[in-house]
Amino acid sequence: MDKVLAAAKFIATARRSRAPLAALPSDIVPADEAEGYQVQRALHDLMRPQLGSLVGYKIGCTSKVMQEYLDIPHPCGGGVFEKGVHDSGAKLSASDYVRVGVECEIAVKLARDLLPPEQPFTAEWMGEAVEAYYPAIEIVDDRYVKWETAGAPTLVGDDFFAAGCVLGPPVTRSAVPDLLKVAGPAIINGKEEGRGTGADVLGHPHHALAWLANHLASEGRGLHAGQIVLTGSLVKTVWLNAGDHVRMELDGLGVVEATFT
């Protein structure tokens, strides 16, 4: 069996059974991040019957706090699936995840396609590609026995912790505030657990969006109108317990909440 497909099947089996992944067998572990993304694409095909269609992407490691936490000095991407997208106020079961965590993000919905022939993409014109912005809770899942030793290629192959998102009400492009100044806390059970600003996301969330568009273009793929992109966490990941209530407040973008029962 093809090494990439074998790795994707191994990860898919673990995800379906919610069994913590110890390590991929040495003969199928992706050699580098480029091979990790090949595994990720194969994994998306395998998980689609369970998770629905691919409706967008998450970008990880776009802030200094997250790069230091994960010890990965550059952005990484993962998929967002139809059944993983929820509206603010959602009540989700903590038992649907191996070890559920949340991150505070600025999400965007794309107004137009961003396709390979247009590359290189720059932050300066990403704004015109966005239809709306959202305050967002990214749901992440620590699906590993020990993620610290899994290695970036395997984490990339397994969608880089992605497990969905909760979106607040959209804010149209014409009404959006200066994203550099959008700031706010991550509040768990009424207690602030972290705080950040839009400037923490690679200097501006549009830089993260441009990175993703260029990354996909390098693989001959693109972003498409209507897709959702989570641009990266303003705060360090907060790991949850069953019963926790999550509230993210982003000045000028609004509030998004969820409860993990």
- Indicate the domain borders of the chain: 53-260
> Rounded mean pLDDT of 44-66?
95
pLDDT for the residue 1: 61
| Residues belonging to the chain | 261
Identify the band that residue 149 occupies on the pLDDT scale cut at 50, 70 and 90: confident
**Helix/strand/coil (H, E, C) string of 151-163?**
CHHHHHHCHHHEE
Superfamily the domain 53-260 falls into: Fumarylacetoacetase-like, C-terminal domain (3.90.850.10)
Contact between 107 and 167 under an 8 Å Cβ cutoff? The reply is yes
pTM of the full predicted structure? 0.95
Q: Residues 54, 74, 68, CA angle at the centre, nearest 5°?
A: 110
Query: How do residues 10-34 score in pLDDT, each as one tens digit?
Result: 999 999 999 999 889 999 999 999 9
